[in-house]
């Protein structure tokens, strides 16, 4: 039996879904598992035998909020580490890339895995790929469960399984980090609100970087957006827009979470 701490970030619930399932299967193997969303952690304590990290891929990076969180990890000596990333498609070498800083602090990665869940971003100029339809997600759930079971068994038995750091993965990661970052910077000019906003403040209360404030008649967006897609996808009235084009919700469909709960999704 091992004591396992898993630290994670989830923008629209995909990673939270996977981490909750991972906890269940690891506990079935008689492990003690504690999970922590980086949004709620005040102090990082490594009072465990194994530490895990989990996050959604963002142009072959971890989301900025989680990358900064990893910088706060304390120095360790040969601490076993595993990482899981959720994605819509390929993940490349993102876990190998993001754990470099942890290796220097004494963490020893033994499992790095990607789980394809769903694409949550379809924005004009930024991302032409459609949001993954519910019927596709439903077909994936069994495969996702089997992957989580496999990962749980390997974590329990300390079996090495590092993926994505081969030549193909590294090339994909390097290209996406260079081209993707530049493309995103040039194409994304921030979100705004349409007249359908009723100032319900859901986005204000749930923004992970406190980038949104409540104005007189609408909400105001600051400069610290990390494109987690939470406010855009889960606004109860689809009032948050990126240019007038996204008002066409039949074409620019919103991702409502792996369980299709929308703004009722909880973020642990």
Tens digits of residue pLDDT in 44-73: 989 999 999 999 999 889 999 999 999 999
The CA distance from 131 to 65, in Å, is 23
Same domain, 158 and 74: yes
- Strands 3-8 and 32-37, by their bridges, are parallel
202 and 229, same domain (yes or no): yes
196 and 110, same structural domain? Answer: no
The residue among 219, 217, 95 whose CA lies nearest residue 163 is 95
- The string of DSSP codes covering 117-157 is ------BTTTB-SPPPPHHHHHHHHHHHHHHHHHHHHHHHT
SS3 240: strand
What confidence tens digit (pLDDT) does each residue in 142-190 have?
Answer: 999 999 999 999 999 999 999 988 888 888 888 888 898 889 889 999 9
One DSSP character per residue, 72-83 reads: TPPP-SSEEEEE
Residue 172 in tokens: 């994909």
Give the DSSP letter string of 236-251.
TT--EESSGGGG-TTT
Q: How far apart are CA 260 and CA 149, in angstroms?
A: 23
Residues 176 and 245 in one domain: no
Q: Do residue 149 and residue 241 come from a single domain?
A: no
CATH of the domain at 71: 3.40.50.360
Q: Which SS3 state, helix, strand or coil, does residue 212 take?
A: strand
Residues 103 and 226 grouped into a single domain: no
Side-chain half-sphere exposure of 130, counting CA atoms within 13 A = 8
Same domain flag for 138 and 203: no
Q: What is the pLDDT of residue 167?
A: 85
Residue carrying the six token digits 């109860």: 236
Q: What is the DSSP letter of 61?
A: B
Task: Kindly write down the DSSP assignment for every residue of 32-53, as one continuous string.
Answer: EEEEEETTT-SS----SSEEEE
Q: Which H or E run contains 85? A: strand 79-87
- Domain boundary residue among 132, 152, 183? 183
The side-by-side arrangement of strands in the sheet containing 50-56 is 32-37, 3-8, 50-56, 79-87, 107-116, 161-162
Low pLDDT (below 50) residues in the chain: none
Q: What CA–CA distances, in Å, run from 262 to 19, 53, 171, 256?
A: 19, 25, 35, 4
- Domain holding 131, by residue range, is 3-183
Same domain, 75 and 179: yes
Q: Could you tell me if 42 and 27 lie in one domain?
A: yes
Taking the model in full, what pTM does it have?
0.95
Kindly state whether residues 39 and 86 are assigned to the same domain. Answer: yes
Looking at 157, 183, 209, the residue that finishes a domain is 183
Specify whether 45 is located in the same domain as 154. Answer: yes
Q: Are residues 133 and 194 in the same domain?
A: no
**How many structural domains compose the chain?**
2
- Farthest CA pair distance, the chain: 56
Tokens of 93: 């070498």
CATH number for position 258:
3.30.70.20
Alpha carbon 256 to chain centroid distance? 15
| Domain boundary, last residue among 183, 208, 242 | 183
């Amino acid at each position: 039996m091992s004591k396992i701490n898993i630290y994670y970030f989830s923008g629209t619930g995909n990673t939270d879904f996977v981490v909750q399932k991972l906890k269940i299967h690891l506990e079935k193997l008689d492990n003690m598992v504690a999970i922590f969303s980086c949004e709620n952690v005040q102090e990082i304590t490594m009072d465990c035998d194994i530490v895990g990290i989990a996050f959604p891929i963002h142009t072959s990076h971890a989301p900025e909020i989680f990358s900064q969180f990893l910088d706060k990890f304390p120095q360790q000596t040969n601490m076993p580490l595993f990482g899981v990333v959720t994605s819509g498609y390929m993940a490349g070498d993102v876990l190998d890339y993001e754990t470099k800083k942890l290796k220097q602090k004494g963490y020893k990665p033994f499992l790095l895995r990607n789980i394809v869940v769903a694409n949550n971003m379809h924005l004009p100029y930024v991302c032409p790929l459609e949001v993954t339809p519910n019927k596709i997600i439903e077909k994936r759930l069994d495969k996702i469960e089997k992957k989580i079971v496999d990962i749980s068994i390997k974590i329990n038995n300390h079996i090495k399984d590092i993926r994505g750091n081969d030549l193909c993965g590294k090339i994909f990661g390097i290209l996406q980090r260079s081209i993707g970052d530049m493309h995103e910077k040039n194409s994304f000019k921030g979100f705004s609100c349409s007249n359908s906003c009723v100032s319900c403040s859901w986005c204000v209360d749930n923004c992970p970087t406190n980038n949104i404030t409540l104005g007189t008649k609408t909400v105001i967006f600051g400069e610290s957006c990390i494109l987690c897609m939470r406010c855009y996808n889960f606004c109860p009235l689809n009032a948050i827009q990126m240019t007038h084009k996204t008002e066409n919700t039949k074409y620019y469909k919103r991702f409502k979470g792996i369980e299709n709960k929308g703004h009722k999704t909880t973020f642990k």
